[in-house]
């Protein structure tokens, strides 16, 4: 998939529209800047000078750093296009990130059912394989497309662009992006979303903000899930929240149980506030 985080490119990413049942192969050349970010690769044998000798480690390190910078720069340009596309349609896009098993899909299912008729929601699902989560979302009646990344460990801006084209969300709506379960690479890749929402659960341990600081630093909201299990797990909530705010002092926190319903109104209030139209300055204020 991409040279930045080292995920393999042996399996091509796919997009599935569950409404039509159609599956599309995402063009690897469109998804990532492979091998050389300038848009082509060098086949040394075709040029008549196959290289069989090793290169110094210093050269490899310099090439890797330059490649990572180029890949991220290209992704950021595509993310800005996505951001403009979304803004032009007054669509709020939120990037939901977490480790596997934190409860993202369960939270989405509950949110969609509770806010049906209140907020217009649609979902883009990201997983390495299977349609399992997208089928769960579809069962709620919500419009959803699935992106399978193969061996890739995150969504990127090009994947989201294709997903948005297929999803075709209505104007003045909310797109919830469930990223691949991973607390590392999704922090690096801007998709063009309004904000990242990191979902953590009390079953994961209270040291996660310090172990994975980039994800918590990149997020605007922390949803601490599975609080109904606090009596049964060795999780120091105060320690966890202190660490989270040490990494990101401006991080807002809501505590929820997606299965039992605790705290969900705080999450819904945050969603409503994000979706509210931004007040436009009056003519007198602009003069």
> 69 in a domain, yes or no?
no
Query: What is the tens place of the pLDDT at every residue in 214-261?
Result: 999 999 999 999 999 999 999 999 999 999 999 999 999 999 999 999
Whether 9 has a pLDDT exceeding 90, the answer reads no
Whether 1 maps to a domain, the answer reads: no
Q: Are 264 and 237 in contact (CB under 8 A)?
A: no
pLDDT at 23: 87
Asked whether residue 261 is assigned to any structural domain, the reply reads yes
Q: Is residue 213 in some structural domain?
A: yes
What pLDDT, on the 0 to 100 scale, is given for residue 55?
47
Per-residue b or e along 62-78, where b marks 16 or more CB atoms closer than 10 Å to that residue's CB = eeeeebbebbbebbeeb
Question: Which band of pLDDT confidence, cut at 50, 70 and 90, is reported for residue 46?
Answer: very low
- Give the total number of structural domains in the chain: 1
Q: What is the average per-residue pLDDT within 75-101? A: 97
**Mean pLDDT of all residues belonging to the chain:** 85
Residue 44 has pLDDT above 50, yes or no: no
Domain interval for residue 194: 74-275
The structure's pTM equals 0.80
Q: Average pLDDT, stretch 72-89?
A: 96
pLDDT value of position 52: 44
Mean pLDDT of 50-75: 60
pLDDT at 18: 86
CATH assignment of the domain containing 131: 3.40.50.300
Q: What is the pLDDT of residue 149?
A: 93
Average pLDDT on 134-144 reads 97
Is 168 a member of any domain?
A: yes
**Which helix H or strand E contains 160, and what residues bound it?**
helix 157-167
For 265-280, the pLDDT digits (tens) are: 999 999 999 998 754 4
β pairing state of 174-178 and 121-127: parallel
pLDDT for residue 25? 86
Q: What is the mean pLDDT of residues 208-217?
A: 98
Mean pLDDT on 156-164 = 97
> Apex CA 71: angle with CA 153 and CA 208, to 5°?
40
Does 125 map to a domain?
Answer: yes
pLDDT in tens, 13-27: 889 888 888 888 876
Summarize the confidence of residues 33-52 as an average pLDDT: 37
Q: Is residue 59 part of a domain?
A: no
pLDDT number for residue 13: 87
Predicted confidence (pLDDT) at residue 281 exceeds the cutoff of 60 = no
Residue 12: per-residue pLDDT: 74
Partners of 22 in the β-ladder: 17
Sign of CA dihedral 246, 248, 250, 251: negative
Please identify which residue in the block is written with the tokens 């930045």.
Answer: 4
pLDDT of residue 10: 54
Asked if residue 242 belongs to a domain, the reply is yes
């Amino acid at each position: 998939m991409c040279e930045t985080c080292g995920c393999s490119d042996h399996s091509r990413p796919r997009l599935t529209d569950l409404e039509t049942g159609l599956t599309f192969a995402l063009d690897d050349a469109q998804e990532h800047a492979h091998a050389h970010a300038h848009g082509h690769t060098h086949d040394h044998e075709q040029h008549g000078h196959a290289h069989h000798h090793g290169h110094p480690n210093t050269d490899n390190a310099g090439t890797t750093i330059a490649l990572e910078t180029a890949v991220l720069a290209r992704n950021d340009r595509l993310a800005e296009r996505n951001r403009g596309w979304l803004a032009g349609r007054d669509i709020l896009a939120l990037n939901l990130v977490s480790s596997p098993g934190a409860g993202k899909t369960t939270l989405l299912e509950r949110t969609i059912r509770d806010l049906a008729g209140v907020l217009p929601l649609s979902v883009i699902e990201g997983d390495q394989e299977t349609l399992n989560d997208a089928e769960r979302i579809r069962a709620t009646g919500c419009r959803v497309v699935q992106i399978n990344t193969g061996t890739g460990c995150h969504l990127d801006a090009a994947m989201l662009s294709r997903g948005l084209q297929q999803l075709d969300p209505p104007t003045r709506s909310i797109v919830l992006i469930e990223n691949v379960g991973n607390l590392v690479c999704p922090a690096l890749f801007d998709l063009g979303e309004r904000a990242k929402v990191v979902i953590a659960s009390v079953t994961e341990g209270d040291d996660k903000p310090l172990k994975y600081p980039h994800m918590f630093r990149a997020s605007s909201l922390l949803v601490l899930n599975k609080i109904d299990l606090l009596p049964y797990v060795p999780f120091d909530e105060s320690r966890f929240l202190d660490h989270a705010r040490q990494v990101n002092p401006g991080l807002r926190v809501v505590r929820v149980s997606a299965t039992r319903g605790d705290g969900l109104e705080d999450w819904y209030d945050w969603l409503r506030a994000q979706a509210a139209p931004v007040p436009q300055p009056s003519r007198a204020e602009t003069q």
